[in-house]
Chain A
Amino acid sequence: MPREPQEIEIKSRADTLKQRPWPATPPPSREEVAKVYAKRKAEDFGAWCEENLWFQKAFEKPEALQGVRVLEVGLWRLGHKFCTSLLAELGAEVIKVEPPEGDPMRKLTPFGREEYMLKDKKTGEPCGLEFIHEMRNKYSITLNLDTPEGQKLYKGLANRADIIVEEYPPGYMDERGIGYRQLSKINPRLIYCWIGELGQWGPEKDRLSKHGQWMLDPFGQVACSFVHNTGYPDDFLPRGSGGDTTRSGVWLADYVAGEQAAVNILAALYYREEKSRRGQFIEVTAAEALMDILDFDIAWYGFNESIKARTGSWDPNLNQYAWNPCKDGYMMIGGQTDRLWYRIGMCIERDLPQFGRLIHEDPFLKEVAARNALQALTKTYTLTAMWLRDINRVEAEEKLLQYEIAAGPLLYIDEVCEFPHFKYRPWVYTIEDEHYGLLLYSAPPQAFQMRTPARVKWLGRPLGHDNGEIYQKYLGVGQRMQEVLKEKGVL
């Protein structure tokens, strides 16, 4: 359904900051998609998948981690937040314990722009988007862990918890008598996971600055050689203008640490339930979790003292496997095995006949591994880019998909949100939040399951919103007592 173009008058920045309708255009209908399945003779299978895995049916199904209680104590970073998000999306009850002044991440907003923060409908308290987005399905309570009363209350909560995910500086909790070493004595079933950047022990463990500032990602990215290996080489783009080592645009090391923490925690939970009846202590760091997934880089140094260099958007291990510029942006094309390699050529050859002659008939390029040599990459991508420069992303994708090649345009975030496949499933979705209104969010990739799909029940939570319920329910601390504690600075 084509939309009517609208006259938009922009007089100030405020006029541009408007909620966008999502989706701007409707996703493909189920009938249209059924035709896609039919083309590959997979009507039955496609229908079966949609019937059993359909995203919108999540709330009709149970939650896998129902009954698992998690305490999240941490500030600033994303590791613990992402870890407990994964658990909370799968049904665990996650209680985020914040100091009375709140997690400082609540105040972070891109370029300090307060207009990008969201205000709680009732109190008007602003909160940053990064925080809200990762505060899914979690309760927020406040507790001052520096006071004896606070520590006592925390011990009470820990006694009732299955899992604690902690991200404070090394030894912080231990000094206060509420680390793993003390809590495991009162709750032997406790699974306790510490997450950090570099470690809570060892010669280069997490440090604080003289004035108490924390180490945050990208310290983790920097410490494991990821940053050194990422970016365009300086003979490709000048240094200072894109040809430098490059960090990830997001706090990737924190995300990776968070998910590995979730894996280790769930394995420990399984072991506790099946066999030992006891919890354990887990430590995951951003630097090491990211090093775990740096392919073979450190092992390669051990093999022949190679230090990996930057190769931009090309990959030294696979050909073709890169994005290259095209008429309206960048187009990613991938296909390494002979079957895909020749199909890419067959597609490009239709418009650029010399591609077949220069690439397919080059004897050097006939062997799959030989194509990874540097001159082979240069030759292949030069010719591919020759083809790409005259067509735009949509055309290129359409042509390449006819040959069943893994190809796709490089998308900006607005394009991601509007990509037909992404909004059909959907991968970004809206939720009407009690406090922050209509929000667009990234859906959990674990949401497409037959029996216990992950789901987002709410996003964001004002500071201390759940004090009343949690303290009453788990510690029997009533309204009056809570007020007294609040006055004393404990809550």
Chain B
Amino acid sequence: MADPREVRLEDLPGPKSREELEDMKAPYEEYCRKIFDVGNEFIKPGALEGIRWLSCTMYIFTPHAVANLGELGAEIIKIEFPRVADPMRHTSPFNECYYYPLHDTRPKSGTGIGVLNANVNEYYISLDYHRKEAQEVLHKLVKMSDGLTECYRPGTFDRWKQSYRYLQEINPRFIYVWGGGFGYGPKAFGGSYDILGQSHAGLASITGFHEDFGGHPTKHSNWCIDWYSGTQITVAILAALYWRRKTGLGTMIEFSQVQAATRCIGYGVPLYGRFGVVRQRWGNWDTQLCVHGIIICGKSDYPDEKNPQLRNEARYVMVSAFNDPDFKELCTVIKRMDLYEKYKTHKERVRAEAQVEIYQEIEKWAADKSRSEVARILTEAGVLAMPVKNDKEVYESEHFRQRGTVRWMDDPMLGDVVVQSTYSAGLLSETPRRKFWDFRPVGADNVKIYHELLGYPVSTVQEWYDKGII
């Protein structure tokens, strides 16, 4: 114990060194840049180093739950069926975009871009659970791992005697995750995808334009609900790891992706429960705020481009002025003070009929302008506005480049690829996320895992490969 009469530098308030003093005095933005130190992630440790996780997953939802761990430093072993592999490897928009190299599972076309970002930083092995040799191998892996995530239909792993019922006997610390559509209950065996989550859980019914405006329920582009639900599994896994530190016991987590979509429909559920009111779609406007919506402008930002996504679509802009002084400013800019006089309070503005009128008037004003003009005029007037960005503009954005969230990397398998994920899931000052490779071929790490980790002779590994076990 320290002598209480002794005055130690570290006990005194204030900075302890010149460097720290400079840190304290630096402008805030500079301080943030320095502490996150984007681009130098690899000199810092990963938060979850030492955790080993098995990923018996396919598609996006459950793989993403594990990839989050991998980005944070855990060692991941992804197990695929030999030759069949993760079906996501076939997936590519309009069958157009494939990554090489060629491999015996995809000899003609390479791997579809659809699999990108879902299984980063993992070791890839193959294993056919149907074969009797497989069980011993899997049990050995379970004994030396912290957990497993799987996405097969309920009862499948149980039939193969590798569900949590069995695995907890051989490793009580094991954390077992099943992720799928439904979980126990009458529709337990129903399969699920992202789009089923969107449609089945009510999210689609409130996204898009109302049928009175000619719209249909609209799919969130991308497999948003897959990714979003996967991240929520990671939350549950990390909490279970935290709890395991105290008790030494693992757990089983059953996670329904469709339910995760219901979780994010906000006031929809309590509104129905209390008042019997069913929330409907409200297009590009906001049900709770006005003005806070996306409008269309008359002119394109790229009238001469060949690509219709630039020529025709670069016309939308987000405008937000819901507080009274902001709305007044907006009305001044569009020279419609009568609107301000009519809808002075937010309560009046946000009514449905008022919203229809107000947005129409703003669009009339924007009819002879391009979206960047609109954004510039409004921003100069001190009102919040931003063009709706497309992939090209996001790629070229100086903001994301400086923050390191869009960057090129030299992938060992794929060469130069643009990275839009991992780093964008959050900046951490001490244990930043990082990506060292994206996907690898099926069974690329069979020797590393079966021979080096589990101690099987290389000849046995070769024999298994020839027999189609791996």
Minimum CB–CB distance from B73 to chain A (whole Å) comes to 8
Max count, chain A CB within 10 A of own CB: residue among B159, B231, B309: B231
Is B436 in contact with chain A by the CB < 8 A criterion? Answer: no
Question: Which A-chain residue is minimally distant from B255 (CB atoms)?
Answer: A445
What are 27 A-B interface contacts by the 8 Å CB criterion? A28-B186, A45-B158, A91-B239, A203-B402, A219-B318, A225-B394, A241-B213, A252-B228, A261-B426, A262-B235, A266-B235, A295-B116, A295-B117, A300-B97, A303-B97, A323-B204, A323-B217, A330-B204, A373-B94, A410-B204, A412-B278, A427-B256, A440-B273, A451-B240, A451-B247, A451-B250, A452-B251
Bound CA–CA A204/B395 (angstroms): 14
Is B321 in contact with chain A by the CB < 8 A criterion? Answer: yes
CB proximity to B under 8 Å, residues A376-423? 376, 401, 404-417, 419-422
Decide if A263 touches B235 in the complex (CB within 8 Å): yes
CB proximity to A under 8 Å, residues B278-318? 278-279, 281-284, 286-289, 292, 294, 296, 307-310, 312-313, 316, 318
Decide if B267 touches A225 in the complex (CB within 8 Å): no
Is A310 in contact with chain B by the CB < 8 A criterion? Answer: yes
Decide if A323 touches B386 in the complex (CB within 8 Å): no
Decide if B93 touches A252 in the complex (CB within 8 Å): no
Q: A218-B318, A225-B394, A267-B238 are in contact. Are A318 and B91 (CB under 8 A)?
A: yes
Is A166 in contact with chain B by the CB < 8 A criterion? Answer: no
Is B406 in contact with chain A by the CB < 8 A criterion? Answer: yes
Max count, chain B CB within 10 A of own CB: residue among A215, A315, A441: A315
A417-448: contact bitstring with B at CB < 8 Å (1 yes, 0 no)? 10111101101101000000011111111101
Binds A, one of B126-134, B416-424, B444-452, B453-461: B416-424
Bound CA–CA A364/B296 (angstroms): 40
CB proximity to A under 8 Å, residues B388-442? 388-395, 397-400, 402-403, 405-406, 408, 416-422, 424-431, 433
Which one of B204, B272, B425, B430 contacts A271 once the chains associate, using CB atoms below 8 Å? Answer: B430
Q: A226-B221, A240-B296, A322-B195 are in contact. Are A259 and B232 (CB under 8 A)?
A: yes
Question: Which B-chain residue is minimally distant from A195 (CB atoms)?
Answer: B426
Tally chain B residues at the interface, Cβ within 8 Å: 195
Decide if B235 touches A224 in the complex (CB within 8 Å): no
Is A59 in contact with chain B by the CB < 8 A criterion? Answer: no
B190-205: contact bitstring with A at CB < 8 Å (1 yes, 0 no)? 1111011001111111
Tally chain A residues at the interface, Cβ within 8 Å: 212
Minimum CB–CB distance from B427 to chain A (whole Å) comes to 4
Is A475 in contact with chain B by the CB < 8 A criterion? Answer: no
CB proximity to A under 8 Å, residues B16-33? 23-24, 28-29, 31-33
Decide if B199 touches A330 in the complex (CB within 8 Å): yes
Bound CA–CA A40/B320 (angstroms): 53
A-B Cβ contacts below 8 A, count: 685
Question: Which B-chain residue is minimally distant from A55 (CB atoms)?
Answer: B184
CB proximity to B under 8 Å, residues A293-350? 293-318, 321-323, 325, 330, 332, 334-337, 340
Binds B, one of A138-146, A242-250, A351-359, A478-486: A242-250
Q: A259-B231, A269-B242 are in contact. Are A18 and B275 (CB under 8 A)?
A: yes
CB proximity to A under 8 Å, residues B60-92? 60, 64, 68, 72, 87, 90-92
Decide if A317 touches B425 in the complex (CB within 8 Å): no
CB proximity to B under 8 Å, residues A255-300? 255-256, 259-264, 266-271, 273-276, 278, 280-284, 288-300
Decide if B90 touches A133 in the complex (CB within 8 Å): no
On chain A, the residues within 8 Å of B318 by CB distance are: 218-219, 222, 227
On chain A, the residues within 8 Å of B33 by CB distance are: 201
On chain B, the residues within 8 Å of A374 by CB distance are: 94
Max count, chain B CB within 10 A of own CB: residue among A226, A270, A430: A270
